[in-house]
Amino acid sequence: MSGSPTARRRRLAIEVKKLREENGFTCNQVGKALDWSSSKVNRMETGQGRVQPSDVDALCRFYETSDELRDLLKSLAKESKTKGWWHAHGNAVPSWFSVYVGLEQASSDLRSYQGEFVPGLLQTPDYATELSRSWVDHTAEDIQRMVDVRMRRQALLVGDCPPELWAVVHQSTLMHVVGNRRVMAGQLERMLEMAELRNVTVQVLPFDAGSYPTTGSFTVLGFPEQEDPDMVYREGLTDSVYLEDPRDVDLYSKAFDHLRALALGPQRSVLLIKEILKEHSQ
């Protein structure tokens, strides 16, 4: 199980909900039996907020689980209370995004489609800085902390047992000048370097790809434990959406498969990136 507290909290929520459903209880019935509100049971099953080990102990005794399972779930509750490295960066990581960072750190594979900007895990400091400056209410200190967080996230791809990153980016993303052409040249060079990693695949969706099944950028996250199902992340200006319903995840997974089938192959994508790099370098 990953060391990410966010992933542990999600795993705990999954296991707690599974126990209730296997025993045939409703949230209201469990709440009444333990003198809790049904909303408290629901929060535990959806991973909203931290769960006390004592509450997990009470649930397991109510469900009459084995001692081994009770100890495992109590351990998950205890370890999910720790803070990840990203919490030290304060407002640079909004609460709605900190959940994603924690899940990203625990992932085994990331399938990302970006139609506007280069994926965060492939960005250079200069490119990330220019994007952060577009937020008019950010101070110079805020911007630096945001860039620091983005660079720290990237260490994931070159660490021990790194996840597989498969990124499909629209051609317009590579031609859209963020900052200036020098910044873009450095960014494209960075993408070419990352594409050489064994765990990173980059494909470009060309202008002539035709229609495709998406209305915005998204990421499908996979996890190493079979008990932790895939999920989809979509980000907005002030919040984010996490989709875990198997039907939604399946739809986005198929959409991503369609996108990478329409995109140029990895080798042809590298050639196109090099061509666009020459334009930015002139």
Q: What is the pLDDT of residues 163-216, one digit of tens each?
A: 999 999 999 999 999 989 999 999 999 999 999 999 999 999 999 998 888 778
The strand order across the sheet containing 109-114 reads 200-205, 164-170, 109-114, 218-222, 231-235, 240-243
The H-or-E segment that residue 180 falls in is none
Query: Under 8 Å CB-to-CB from 117, ≥6 apart: which residues?
Result: 123, 131, 173, 176, 178
Cα(263)–Cα(174) distance, rounded to whole angstroms? Answer: 14
Residue 1, pLDDT score: 43
Using a pLDDT cut of 90, give the percent of the chain over it: 39
Best CATH choice for the domain 85-281 from the list 3.30.870, 1.25.40, 3.30.70, 1.10.10: 3.30.870
Query: For the chain, what are the domain ranges?
Result: 5-79, 85-281
Using alpha carbons, select from 99, 46, 51 the residue that is nearest to residue 76.
51
Contact 97, 149 (CB under 8 A): no
Q: Reduced to 3 states, what is the DSSP secondary structure of residue 182? A: helix
pLDDT tens per residue, range 11-62 = 777 778 878 888 888 888 888 888 888 888 888 877 776 788 888 888 888 8
One-letter amino acid at 112 equals S
Contact 13, 44 (CB under 8 A): yes
Cα(118)–Cα(114) distance, rounded to whole angstroms? Answer: 7
pLDDT tens per residue, range 84-100 = 544 454 555 565 566 77
Residues in the chain: 282
Q: What is the mean pLDDT of residues 214-236?
A: 85
Cα(44)–Cα(13) distance, rounded to whole angstroms? Answer: 6
Using alpha carbons, select from 274, 259, 275, 254 the residue that is nearest to residue 203.
259
Which residues of the chain form beta strands (DSSP E)?
109-114, 164-170, 200-205, 218-222, 231-235, 240-243
Q: 105 — phi, psi (to 5°)?
A: -65, -25
Q: 78 — phi, psi (to 5°)?
A: -65, -45
CATH 1.10.260.40 fits 5-79, yes or no: yes
